[in-house]
Amino acid sequence: MTIVIKSAVLPSGETLTYRERAGTEPCLLLLHGNMASSELWDPLLEYPDIKQRLIAVDLRGYGESSYKSPVNDMKDFSKDLYDFVEQLGLDQLIVMGWSNGGGVAMQFAADYPARVSKLILLAPISSRGYAAVNTEGDRLRTKEQIAKDPGLAMVIQANQNQDRDFFEQAMAYLMLNNRQSDTETRAKYIKACLMQRNMIDAADAANRFNISSVSNGLTEGTGEMGRIQSSVLVIWGTKDLITTKSMIEETIEDFASHGKAVQYVELDAGHSPLIDDIHGLVAAINGFIAQP
């Protein structure tokens, strides 16, 4: 399958780089997570049984995309995506968000409900956000606290120092479940970590994100989930060490509180079913897309 790498300059002056593979409409827009990039979607872009046109975009501050202005919250990513799909002339979309990208996908579907025909959330952060906590488990409340926390500062310092060994060990445990993987796959995951330029801002945005109707202990829910019109599929791997089962349950519960039933699929996988169970992942995606 031929993957073409392109870029789009937004009205804001930011440039978003993206990977595209030809296929049928509606387009499936792929949103990566934190410490990631569009390149990590390659197993899906290369999979022949996915017939949709696929576009995987590097969000602002990730991969090859620019980072001229700091991200303050999820709505900044959402507005970038609106400008991006406008420029590409995309109307009805299937949107798939992975991990932190699941939060971005939910925010986009809430902000621009007419654009999203189907929403797929792969190991998403909760609709109540992803809490930034210190080593004692206490929630950090500001961007300044996130920057100064020793645990998170270690990750940020490794990013600034381009410490490949640090991220290789982190990815081996958190993303690859200490399994052996091919050198090329490991290199892509490490590269994505090293290229990220918004670690503090992205962690703060995820920490405060909350489109439910309840408090998450830091921010009150906006209730914006009620604006999402599309059908929703949630996919989660039972060996996931990043997105917990309780986060998945919160999201499903929050959708239910707004009158929306969610289809749910569990896979025998960790945080990256793209590596652990690509066949099961594609079956779940195709089954959902095929539904009226």
- Enumerate residue ranges in the chain where pLDDT < 50: none
Output the pLDDT for position 180: 63
Helices (H) and strands (E) in the chain, counts: 11, 8
The predicted-structure confidence for 250-288, as pLDDT tens digits, reads as follows 999 999 999 999 999 999 999 999 999 999 999 999 999
Task: List, in sequence order, every residue forming a beta bridge with 139; answer none if it has no partner.
Answer: 133
Residue 29 is classified by DSSP as E
Residue 282's contacts (CB-CB under 8 Å, 6 or more residues apart) are 44, 47, 49, 50
Q: Confirm if 95 and 31 have CB atoms less than 8 A apart.
A: yes
What pLDDT does residue 175 have?
83
Let me know the angle formed at the C-alpha of 37 by 262 and 27, rounded to the nearest 5 degrees.
50
Give the pLDDT of residue 183.
82
Judge whether 64 and 88 are in contact, CB under 8 Å: no
**Assigned superfamily of 4-290:** Alpha/Beta hydrolase fold, catalytic domain (3.40.50.1820)
Model confidence, pTM:
0.97
Q: What's the confidence (pLDDT) of residue 172?
A: 86
